[in-house]
Structure 1
Amino acid sequence: MLDVLGVGFGPANIALAVALDELWPSSRVKFLEKSKNACWQPSMLLDGADIQNHPVRDLVTPRNPRSRYTFINYLHEHGRLFRYLNMPAPFPLRKEYAQYVQWVAEHVPADVEYAREVVGIREVGEGGRHKVIEARTSDGSAFRARAVVVAPGRTPNIPPTFAHLGVPHVVHTSEYIPGVGDLGSDYTGTIAVVGSSQSSAEVVLDLIARLPQANIVNVMSGYGYRLKDTSPFSEEVYFPEFTSYYYRASAKGKDRLRSQLRPTNYSSADRDVIDALYMRLYEDELDGRTRLSIRTNRRIDRTDLADERITLEMTERITGEHDLLVADRVILATGYRDLGVHERHEQLPPLLADLAGILRVDDQTGLSVGFDYRVEADSSARGVPPIYINGLCETTHGLGDAGSFSLLALRSQTIVQSLRRSLAEHVNAEAPSDVFTTR
């Protein structure tokens, strides 16, 4: 019997694997990953794109700077440390950080089964004595463990006006590179990019270089691109102290904090990409080219597909005027869904749908998650095995849980410590005759 089953083996659970190896090496753990290998953002590894994150806020350094699995040691072992230190940029290239993540995944002594897509998780009895977690995979296999840590990544946010359209006509940035992989450099069609975030700016710049003859139209709901708030005061949202402060705030307080701090991570972009995009527009105007245009303050009211082309019916939010855009392909830089009960939220991760009846759901925040990232059981449920969510808890824990590397290492430590305590308590409560040891 496994102690812990990890669903997903992206950065969050890779960091967890390192923490388990360093803090609880005797644990019996298996990870299931739907991809064929370890990878991080493979569809957004664009030329020149960086991680927007201090490099030592990696998978392990904030928890254990002496670990073999730090980014600095990765550079050292690959003979690139001095070359990296001489690089004229504040943040690592996204491509290099992806290679670092893969390197850790390949070297940490974790039991990982790739190409295993988990399609459902449920609670089952084990020998009539206590309950365990069972994960079912798409190939019909089943894996049981005393606890589960779910880290599937966030669900792409597809606005309702685009929900009836599919690939290849509409592509979310999470599938961007394969989504335009069939288009050659001589492509002359029209591509609409929806959004005004870092990702949308990066995609627009990439499309201009990748498809120099295409017509690119960037549609956004605001007046224009906004600079990301990188004030060191605002960046303290990625301190562990802020996580505690945010978690203990009231629902009204959390709403206020989200409103104040949203520009640190959402609907904004770094100066380098904004400047590059504006310069591209200016130079094209100088050269008499109109391959890129931006339609601001637009609300997309309706979309239709006819003759393999998508028509976007839009309203200018200030003037009220209506206009149309006909595109051959649409790229959605519309972000991801968070846990919660409001628009752009989902009440619980789809993988936990079969457990909805035994999990506690809060009217304000959706799925109720403890400070240690353990999902709280419904008051009517008894003996629910420990269930943890790793990397989806922005609504309850703040921006440090918003897909950022910043707190991965410390979050892993919290989960490992809670796992050891919870498993011992669970086994003792449900099956006193069962043996559970840690050393």
Structure 2
Amino acid sequence: MQVLDLIGIGIGPFNLSLAALACPTPLRTAFFEKESGFDWHPGLLLPNSRLQVSPLKDCVTLADPTSPFSFLNYLAVHGRLYSFVNRCDATTSRREFTQYFQWVAHQLPQLRFGEEVTDVTRLDEGYRVTTTRDHYHARSVAIGVGVVATIPECAKPWLGEKVYHVASYLDRPQIDIGERVLVVGGGQSGAEVVEHLLGSPGIGKITWVTSRGNLFTRDDSSFINVSYTPSYSQRFHSLPLKKRRTIVDDEKLTSDGISAELSNRIYESIYHRSATGNIDDVIQLLPAVVMKELSPHADGWHALLASHGTCQRPTVVADRVVLATGFEPRPLAFIDRLLASASMEGGLPVVKDDYSVQFEDNAPGQVYLQNRSPVQSGLQSVNLSLVAYRNGRIINSLLRREYYLNVPDRPILGCLGLLPAQETQNAR
């Protein structure tokens, strides 16, 4: 049986990028995905959904600007490059970026859709990977199985056509005229749903609740974006665990807030409605509250809310409940078994600066973690900002040489207590 250099488990944007960057190298790879083709949160592809990062942060560009798998080449191949650059907009829609991802996927023969990995066993020389079709051997594996919806406990018994996570929003029946909708969650996806509901003809009352103290916008200013550079990532990785946890908490709104553009559009919509009628009949915004209970009644779903810092426990009645309550790593038993022998720090597996797990016995072969380690590797490890840089590091680790040049950036702003001049000197 042929021994592969790398098997990728799951084909989302992160492992798709890894496959694209591995393509021109001598590495023998295979990537497995249970779904029949590539898709990227299809239930969330609303008409106004925008990509939250620069489209240059695609599968390959920041590791190899000459790669044929870049977003700019995708535009050129489809005759849209000039049309794109002539737009007064530096970003694009999530729908177009999904189409770009699918275009990349169609060109990579090592991607095997419709074949799910069911087990991974550690061997002396690497890993035995079992799928729904066959067994394979590889020296290393990259885990990129993605995320699943986070569901509040009180809503789990009632999931269905009228109570559901935002990830399946477009898969559910359209909103009926006069329907009252409760949206739980104050992040980007919740805001996108609220904007969509505000534009739905005949919508009843919208109630939008969030546990946060306000509908906070995402901070993506130029200086803040230093947090999503290679030098920042490397510096973050060298810090003690306690400090890394603090930074992840402090910087949460660099990736987890509402885009300012969307926030302003929603505010404008609410404002103009308030000028023509009673806005309380259209939308109610409730910050600093959590949904404690949810139960069905003859007149609709009753959601018992609890207000932070007060004894108030109002009840909202709705015909439909949309849970914009985030995502969490997909739990898989074989991943837990695989990581059981990892070196641990604060209850988490230690992740090295090449994004591989450190094992106690230092056996040959690596396990690379994609989209599972924000405390170990920073918030950039769970979004698209440094996906090409990260996967370039993984390729270099597999080849044991610098195939993709690790050229340090020279940040204008010092990061995490390290001055820019010191970084420049250290890079020489």
Residue of structure 1 in register with 2:273 after alignment: 284
The amino acid that maps onto 2:48 is G
Residue of structure 2 in register with 1:61 after alignment: 61
Residue 382 of structure 1 deviates from its aligned partner by 6.5
Q: Using structure 2 for the length normalisation, give the TM-score.
A: 0.86
Please state whether the residue corresponding to 1:304 is helix, strand or coil: strand
Q: Which runs of 4+ in 1 moved over 6 A?
A: none
Residue of structure 1 in register with 2:78 after alignment: 78
String of CA shifts for 1:15-74, please: whole Å, max 9, x gaps: 11111112x2x3221111122111222222111221121121211111111111111111
Q: Residues 209 and 121 of structure 1: is their aligned pair in 2 closer, same or farther, counting only changes over 3 Å?
A: farther
For structure 2, the residue ranges without an aligned partner over 5 or more in a row are: 402-428
Residue 350 of structure 1 deviates from its aligned partner by 5.1
The amino acid that maps onto 1:313 is L
Moved more, 77-86 or 299-308: 299-308
Q: Using structure 1 for the length normalisation, give the TM-score.
A: 0.84
String of CA shifts for 1:380-412, please: whole Å, max 9, x gaps: x57364211123221111121122x21111111
Residue of structure 2 in register with 1:319 after alignment: 310
Residue 357 of structure 1 deviates from its aligned partner by 3.0
Q: Residues 35 and 309 of structure 1: is their aligned pair in 2 closer, same or farther, counting only changes over 3 Å?
A: farther
Please state whether the residue corresponding to 1:228 is helix, strand or coil: coil
CA distance in 2, matches of 1:235, 1:372: 22
Residue 219 of structure 1 deviates from its aligned partner by 0.9
Please state whether the residue corresponding to 1:256 is helix, strand or coil: helix
Residue 369 of structure 1 deviates from its aligned partner by 1.4
Residue of structure 2 in register with 1:122 after alignment: 121
CA distance in 2, matches of 1:222, 1:14: 34
Contact 1:122 1:133 (8 Å CA) reproduced: yes
Residue of structure 1 in register with 2:245 after alignment: 255
Aligned counterpart in structure 2 of residue 240 of structure 1, from 218, 227, 230? 230
Q: Percent identity?
A: 26
Aligned counterpart in structure 1 of residue 346 of structure 2, from 345, 354, 363? 363
Show the 5 A alignment for 1:259-270. 259-266=249-256, 268-270=257-259
Residue of structure 2 in register with 1:110 after alignment: 109
Please state whether the residue corresponding to 1:322 is helix, strand or coil: coil
CA distance in 2, matches of 1:269, 1:385: 40
Residue 333 of structure 1 deviates from its aligned partner by 1.6
Residue of structure 2 in register with 1:383 after alignment: 363
Please state whether the residue corresponding to 1:155 is helix, strand or coil: strand
Residue of structure 2 in register with 1:47 after alignment: 47
CA distance in 2, matches of 1:13, 1:421: 20
Q: Residues 313 and 147 of structure 1: is their aligned pair in 2 closer, same or farther, counting only changes over 3 Å?
A: same
Contact 2:245 2:375 (8 Å CA) reproduced: no
Please state whether the residue corresponding to 1:201 is helix, strand or coil: helix
CA distance in 1, matches of 2:258, 2:343: 36
Q: Residues 327 and 136 of structure 1: is their aligned pair in 2 closer, same or farther, counting only changes over 3 Å?
A: farther
CA distance in 2, matches of 1:212, 1:16: 46
What's the C-alpha RMSD, in Å, of the aligned pairs? 2.4
CA distance in 1, matches of 2:155, 2:214: 22
CA distance in 2, matches of 1:308, 1:356: 48
Contact 1:17 1:110 (8 Å CA) reproduced: no
For structure 1, the residue ranges without an aligned partner over 5 or more in a row are: 339-345, 423-439
Contact 1:8 1:33 (8 Å CA) reproduced: yes
CA distance in 2, matches of 1:224, 1:393: 27
Q: Residues 217 and 360 of structure 1: is their aligned pair in 2 closer, same or farther, counting only changes over 3 Å?
A: same
Residue 164 of structure 1 deviates from its aligned partner by 3.5
